[in-house]
Chain A
Amino acid sequence: MGVEGIGAKVLRKEDRRFITGQGRYTDDMSVPGMKYAAFVRSPHAHAKITSIDASAAREMPGFIEFLDGQQLKADGIGNIICGWAVTSKDGSPMKMGAYPALADGIVRYVGQPIGIVIAETQAQARDAAEGVMIEYEELPVVVNGPDAMKAGAPQLHPEAENNICFDWELGDADATAKAFENPAKVIKLDIVNNRLSPNPIEPRAALGHYNSAEDHYTCYTTSQNPHVARLVMSAFYNVAPEHKLRVIAPDVGGGFGAKIYIYPEEIVCLWASKRTHVPVKWTSDRTEAFLTDAHGRDHVSDVEMALDANNKILGLRVNTVANLGAYMSLFSSATPTYLYATLLSGQYNIPAIYANVKGVYTNTAPVDAYRGAGRPEATYVIERTMETAARELGMSPAEFRRINFIREFPHQTPVIMNYDTGDFEATMEAAMKTADVAGFEGRRQEAKSRGKLRGLGMSCYIEACGIAPSKAVGSLGAGVGLWESAEVRVNPVGTIEILTGSHSHGQGHETTFAQVVSQRFGVPVDNVQIVHGDTDKVQFGMGTYGSRSGAVGCSAISKALDKVEAKAKKIGAHLLEADEGDIVIENGEVKVAGTDKKLAWHEVCLGAYTGHNLPDGMEPGLKEGAFYDPQNFTFPAGCYICEVEVDPDTGVTEIVQFVAADDFGNIINPMIVEGQVHGGLAQGIGQALLEGVNYDETGQLVTASYMDYAMPRAWDLPMFKVETLVTPCTTNPLGLKGCGEAGAIGSPPAVMNAITDAIGNNDLTMPATPEKVWNAINAVN
C-alpha cells in the first residue's frame, strides 16, 4: 500500500470547502433574474378538489404567476413513474394509480402539491401560496397498511382493488409448507418495522432555468443521481429534451435514499421556468420535507420459523404488508420485494423460504428506499426471530446462530441470492471478544445492584450491495440497467481527472476515488480531481445508492484505469525501447523492470499528447472510458452487539456499549469506512429508540418537525467500537463489498434484542420509547 493508495487513512480532500463555509449546495445557487417558488399543498389526506381560485394571490405583493395541474396536463407533462415493474403471484402486473406532478382533481396525502406560486422573494411566494383559495370535498381516509386491505376501507385508486398494488411472492411455497409439516419446534413472531423519515439535514431544493435564447434547460437539484433525473425528466415527463437539459447536483447535504427520486418539485420548477421566462428556485422547509420526502420502512409482518430436533432451521415463512403510501415512488416496488425478501436467508442455512408481500396504498406520503432499503426490514425479521428462537430453546443466541451459519461459499440461498464469500463465525467471534460477552453476566448483576436492568443483544446481518447486474435486474422488472460509467482523462502534465457517474453527498468520493488512482500509478491524490454531479461533464451514470459507489463505481474507474495503463505502457515501452511486457508503472514512474531505465509519469503523459514519438498507428492522447456491469451483488456482513441499561422506574434506555464487527471486503480508506458505520449505526439506533413517522386517523402528519420527530442527538448515542475483518469480494476487481448502509441494517435488531433481554418481555415495538418500555416492564411484573 502506498501512503495514499488503497487501504491508507487519507484525510478528505473535500473537507476544506465545507469547514470554511464554501460548500456550494443547491440553495446557495443563484442566477440573474431568479425568482422564488412556493408550492400550494393539500391540507387534506384524501379529498376532491372542487375549485381553485388564485385571484386574491394575484393581487399580493411580488406575485408573478400561479400554475396548477390543469396547465401541467395541457402542456403534456407526464405522470411520475415507477422504475421497477413488479408482477403479482397471479401473473398480473402491479396496479399503479396515476401520479401527476401537480394534483389532477384529487389529493391523496397531506402535502401533495397542487400548484406552484412564483414571486419576487421567497417570503412573498409563501404568502401568495397561502392566498390561493382551494375548496375540497373531503373523502374517507386510511393510513395503515393492514387496514387499507380490509373490506369497506376507503379506495385510493380505481386501478387497485382493496388498495393492493401488488401481491407478490418469492421462494418455494410447497417446499416451505413441507418444512413445517413435522418440525421439532416452530417459532412465531409478529414484527412491525416502523415508518421513518430519512432527514438529510439539507432540505431538498431545485433551481430550474430555461434559457429561451439557447432553447436550453438547466436544473440544479439535490439529487443522488443527476443523470437518472435527466433521463426521466426528458423521456417520461417531457419537460425538456435530453440533449438540451443539463442537470447539476452540486454539493448535496446527505441523501440516505430520499434524494434518489425525481420528485414533482424539480419537474414543476423547470416547467414553470419555461412558462414564466424566469429562473425559478424552490427550497423545501423542514415541514415540507417531513410531508413529502419519501419515507422508509413501514412493514407489518408475521414470521414462522421451523426447527428440527438439532435446532437447525428447516424453513422460514414470512407474510408482509408493505405500506406504499398514496403513490408509487421510483423504486417503491423493488424496495419491499427484491431488496427485501431476497435477504431473508440471513447468514444461515435455510433449506426452504417462502415470502409473500402485499404492497398497499394508503393516504400517506410515498414510501421508498431509505438507507438499507429492504435489507433492514429483512434483517429485523430474521435477527429478531433468531434471538427469540434461542431464548425459547434456552440456548445462547451465539450458539444457536453458530449451528446454523453458512460456512461454504459460494452459497445459493432459496431466495435468488448467491453469496460469493464471507466468514460469519469470524465476525461474530470478533464482536463477542470486543464486547466482552463472557463478562456480561457480571455486569448484569452489578447493574441489578444499582436497580438497573442490563441486557445484551446481538444481530448477525448480511446485506446485498453493489446493485446490480443489469441483465438480472432487467429480468426481474427493473426499467434501467444498473452498471456504472467512468472516464479517466490524463492531462499532458500527468495530472488526472476522473469523471464518474457516482455522486458524493457525504461519502468522500473525492478522496477515496483519488486513492484508487494513486494506488495504480503512484501519483499523489492531490494530482487527481474527481468530477461528478453534472450531466454536461460526465457522459452518463446511474448515481449513488445501495452502497454501490465502491463496488460498481470504483470498478468502472478500475476498468478505465486498465485501459489507460495499457496505453501508457505501450508508449513507455516505445520511448524506452523496451518490451511492453517488461514495463511497470509505480511511484509515479514508468520503468523497465529489472533495469534502471525509467521515465517520469508526466513524461509519458506529455509524450502521449505531443505525439512526436508514438508507436506507429497509435492515436495521440491519454483518455479512456469504461462501463462496468457487475457480475453479482456484493455481500457485506457482520455482527453487532448492543448492551443497554434500562431504568425500570422511567423506562429510559441507555446504550452503554455498541460493538460492530463488519466484513466489507477490501477497504480503500478505513477512516471513511468507520465514519459510514458510525452514521449508519446512529440511524439504526434512532429507528430502534427514537424515530417514528406518525399519522393520525385523519391522515394528518403529527411528526412534521424536529420538535415532534425525535432525531438522534449527541446525547442519545455512545462512542462506538468499530472493527473490520476482510474476506475480499470475489466478483469485482478491487474486492470491495460496500459499507454505506450496514450500520442502519444491522443495528435495530441488536438494540431491540438487548432491551427485550433486559426487561424480560419480547413484546416490544420500535421505537422503544420510555413509555413503551415502561409499559412492557410492567406488563410482565
Chain B
Amino acid sequence: MTTNDNRRPRGALEAAVMTALWAAQAPMSATEVQHELGGDLAYNTVQTILTRLHEKNAVQRRLDGRRHTYWPVVDAATAAAAQMKAALGERSDRHAVLQQFAASLDEADAALLRQVLAGTERRRR
C-alpha cells in the first residue's frame, strides 16, 4: 500500500490531497481522502498531510463524531481566481504563450473526442 509514498515528493502528496479536497465540494475524512486517491497512500500518510495542511491554514477541519473532516480554505483560492481572471480575461492572446492543459475545440473535433472517450470507457469495463 505504501509503495508510492516514497516515490512521490512531499509537495506532490500535499498537492494530491488538496486537489482531492477541492474536487469533493464537501468536507472529507482522512479515510475518504485516502479512498479518493485510489488507496495508493497509507492512511497514516494521508492523516499526517491533512494535519500539516491544517497547521498551514490551507484546510479547515471540524470534529464529526469521533473523526475530523477537512475542507479547503477558500479565501486564498477566491483571490487567486480574481487575479487569474484579471491576468487572462482581458487579453485572449495571453493564452497563446501558456503551457496549459487543454485548449478549445471545434464541433468536428469534439465529436471525435467523444468517440475516443466512448471507446476507452468500453475498454475499461
A, B in one complex: no
The interface of chain A, by Cβ under 8 A from chain B, is: none
Residues of B participating in the A interface, judged by any CB pair closer than 8 Å: none
